[in-house]
Amino acid sequence: MTTTDTTVPTTAEFVARAAALRPLLCEHAPRIEAERRITDEVIDALTDAGLFKLTVPRRFGGYETDMRTLVDVSAELAEGDGSTSWVVAVVNTCNWLAALFPLQAQEEVFGAGTDARVTGVFGPTATSRRVDGGWRVSGRWYYNSGAWHSTWAVLGLPLTDEDGEVVDQAMALVPRTDVEIQDVWHVAGMRGTGSNCLIAEDVFVPEHRVISVPRAIDGALPTVHGDTGLFRSSLSPLLALGLAGPQIGLGRAALKLVTEKAGTKPISYTYYETQADSVAVQLEVAEAAMKIDTAQLHVRRAAADIDEAAARGGDLDVLIRARVRADSGHAIKNVLEAINTLLNVHGGGSFADANPLQRIWRDASTAGRHAVATPAVGREIYGKLLLGVEERITPFV
């Protein structure tokens, strides 16, 4: 078994590493968007900074940090480029999923001495057939962020009995070399994430690389990392919150851009020499800033819920799990509203190709519609539990 003694930097140090990369990300952002993939220079810089190893087990040289670190790092990166931040957030989330598999599978993913990067999609858009030692799997999975630069994928699939009846939903670890990429990611925002389709044609997946999703949601895992720590985190809350960090950073980037320009930018067809002189602008900017702060406070509360339970080795009760999902959606909703307000302040120039604000708007608007963090779904789940309504609309709580 691979064993590596890793000294773990603090959250502040990881955030500082991410901040140090911001000039590089800003420089590469137009190219990342045009080429619809993260540039190799940025991937190398992220790897050198250790930012793909935040959720890799320490036994494999990873940092095994916590959710607060992941959301703070991804927020910092998003101030430079949204697509890069999204890929870092998703890869770290999928690396965490890979570490839930039996140790033999973890060895295969993380034990090769290289920096593993796992992408993935949970939707069971596949077929499976049991064979000796495992499963034969075929399917298509849309959309795997960071697919171009990933070494493995964690993919959803239905498990069937001998009569072909679905008896469970699972996730399977598959080497990227076993699946093909179909370049389908032609979208308005987050263009650089390379969130393409992965295709498996009768791929063999050994038994130790298949685990039950419902059992994982309930914390029943086929591996042991100790009684406390990152891998005691609740699965569904972690998945939902992992997508909120990039939104926070995009909101902060928009606020910074608009407030910096407001000191010199006039308001056409008024007597104001600058936007900053206008009470209306002052009110709008303050409202946007408060919404971004609100988003950040909800994200940090949710991260604390996950991290504190994991640190004490306890399980989050279902009401708090639902609140984390609602917090994630509420944070995203507030950021989207804040960015819209900032666009109103900045005016029509916001949408010039040369203005980074239009890319921030497109990135946030696209990422903010991810199904896992849909605000209305999160509120419905939370509201039902608050009211004692027994109906459940999803297992992902």
Is residue 217 one of the residues assigned to a domain?
Answer: no
Q: How far apart are CA 330 and CA 322, in angstroms?
A: 12
157 — phi, psi (to 5°)?
-160, 150
106's CB contacts (< 8 A; 6+ apart) are: 57, 60, 98, 99, 223
For residue range 263-273, list pLDDT tens digits in order: 999 999 999 99
For residue range 213-247, list pLDDT tens digits in order: 999 999 999 999 999 999 999 999 999 999 999 99
Report the pLDDT value the prediction gives residue 7, as an integer from 0 to 100: 82
> Quick one: which of 202, 212, 190, 206 has its CA closest to 144?
190
Q: How far apart are CA 292 and CA 322, in angstroms?
A: 22
Question: Do 270 and 312 sit in the same domain of this protein?
Answer: yes
Contact 41, 24 (CB under 8 A): yes
Segment 369-381 mean pLDDT: 92
* End position of a domain, from candidates 88, 111, 134: 111
Amino acid at 70: L
Tally the residues of the chain: 397
Question: Do 307 and 241 sit in the same domain of this protein?
Answer: yes
Could you tell me what percentage of the chain is helix, strand and coil, using 3-state DSSP and rounding each to the nearest 5? Answer: 55, 15, 30
Is the pLDDT score of 373 beyond 90?
Answer: no
For residue range 297-342, list pLDDT tens digits in order: 999 999 999 999 999 999 999 999 999 999 999 999 999 999 999 9
User: 182 - beta bridge partners?
Assistant: 197
* End position of a domain, from candidates 111, 135, 157: 111
- In the block, tokens 């709008």 appear at 284
Is residue 223 one of the residues assigned to a domain?
Answer: no
Percent with pLDDT over 90 in the chain: 93
129 — phi, psi (to 5°)?
-140, 125
Question: Do 48 and 134 sit in the same domain of this protein?
Answer: no
CA distances from 223 to 99, 101, 269 (A): 8, 6, 66
Is residue 28 one of the residues assigned to a domain?
Answer: yes
Is the pLDDT score of 2 beyond 60?
Answer: no
Segment 280-301 mean pLDDT: 98
For residue 396, how many C-alpha atoms fall within 13 Å in the half-sphere facing its CB?
17
Give the chain's radius of gyration (CA, Å).
21
| CATH (domain of 145) | 2.40.110.10
Contact 93, 242 (CB under 8 A): yes
For residue range 98-138, list pLDDT tens digits in order: 999 999 999 999 998 768 999 999 889 999 999 999 999 99
Question: Do 96 and 74 sit in the same domain of this protein?
Answer: yes
Q: How far apart are CA 304 and CA 237, in angstroms?
A: 11
For residue 150, how many C-alpha atoms fall within 13 Å in the half-sphere facing its CB?
34
Question: Do 238 and 201 sit in the same domain of this protein?
Answer: no
Question: Do 275 and 375 sit in the same domain of this protein?
Answer: yes
Structural domain containing residue 134:
118-212
Amino acid at 136: R
For residue range 65-99, list pLDDT tens digits in order: 999 999 999 999 999 999 999 999 999 999 999 99
The number of beta carbons lying within 10 Å of the beta carbon of residue 293 is: 16
If one counts the domains in the chain, the total is 3
**Average pLDDT value over all residues in the chain:** 95
pTM comes to 0.96
Is the pLDDT score of 289 beyond 60?
Answer: yes
Strands 134-144 and 152-160: unpaired
Question: Do 37 and 167 sit in the same domain of this protein?
Answer: no
- In the block, tokens 């199904």 appear at 371
Is residue 354 one of the residues assigned to a domain?
Answer: yes
For residue range 135-163, list pLDDT tens digits in order: 999 999 999 999 999 999 999 999 998 88
